Amino acid sequence: MFVDKAIIKIKAGDGGNGAVAFHREKYIASGGPDGGDGGKGGDIVFVVDDNLSTLADFKYKRKYKAPNGMDGQGSRKNGRKGEDLIIKVPRGTVIRENESGVVMADMSTDERFVAAKGGRGGWGNSHFSTPTRQTPRFAKSGTPGEDWEVTLELKLLADVGLLGFPNVGKSSFISVVSQAKPIIADYHFTTITPVLGVVSLGEGTSFVIADIPGLIEGASEGVGLGHAFLRHVDRCRMLVHIVDVAGSEGRDPIEDFEKINLELERFNPELATRPQIVVANKIDLATEEQMARFREYIENLGYQYFEMCAPISEGTKQVIDAVAAKLHTLPPVRRYETEEIPMETLLKKQDTGFTITVEDDVYIVEAPWLIKIICRTDLDDYESLQYFQRVLISSGIIDALREKGIQEGDIVSIYDFEFEFMN
| Residue 276 vs residue 232, higher pLDDT | 276
Read off the pLDDT band of 122 (50, 70, 90): confident
SS3 87: strand
Distance of CA 335 to the CA centre of its chain: 11
Domain spans of the chain, in order of start: 1-154, 160-327, 343-423
Pick the CATH number of 160-327 from 2.40.50.140, 3.40.50.300, 3.90.230.10, 3.30.420.40: 3.40.50.300
Lowest mean pLDDT among 135-144, 226-235, 366-375, 395-404: 226-235
Does domain 343-423 match CATH 3.40.50.720? no
Question: Which residues fall within 8 angstroms of residue 376, CB to CB, at 6 or more apart?
Answer: 340, 341, 343, 346
For 310-321, how does the pLDDT look when each residue is reduced to its tens digit (9 = 90+)?
A: 999 999 999 999
On the question of pLDDT at 234 being above 90, the answer is no
Query: What is the model's pTM?
Result: 0.71
Read off the pLDDT band of 366 (50, 70, 90): confident
Average confidence (pLDDT) over 183-201: 62
CB contact at 8 A, 216 and 226:
yes
Q: Please name the CATH architecture into which domain 1-154 falls.
A: Distorted Sandwich (2.70)
CB contact at 8 A, 178 and 313:
no
Give the neighbor-by-neighbor strand order of the sheet with 276-281.
195-202, 205-211, 160-163, 238-244, 276-281, 304-307
pLDDT reported for residue 400:
93
On the question of pLDDT at 218 being above 90, the answer is no
Neighbours of 310 (CB within 10 A): 25
Q: How many residues does the chain have?
A: 423
pLDDT reported for residue 114:
95
DSSP track, 105-155: EEE-SS--EEEEPPPPPPPPGGGG-BTTBSS----PPPPPPPEEEEEEEE-
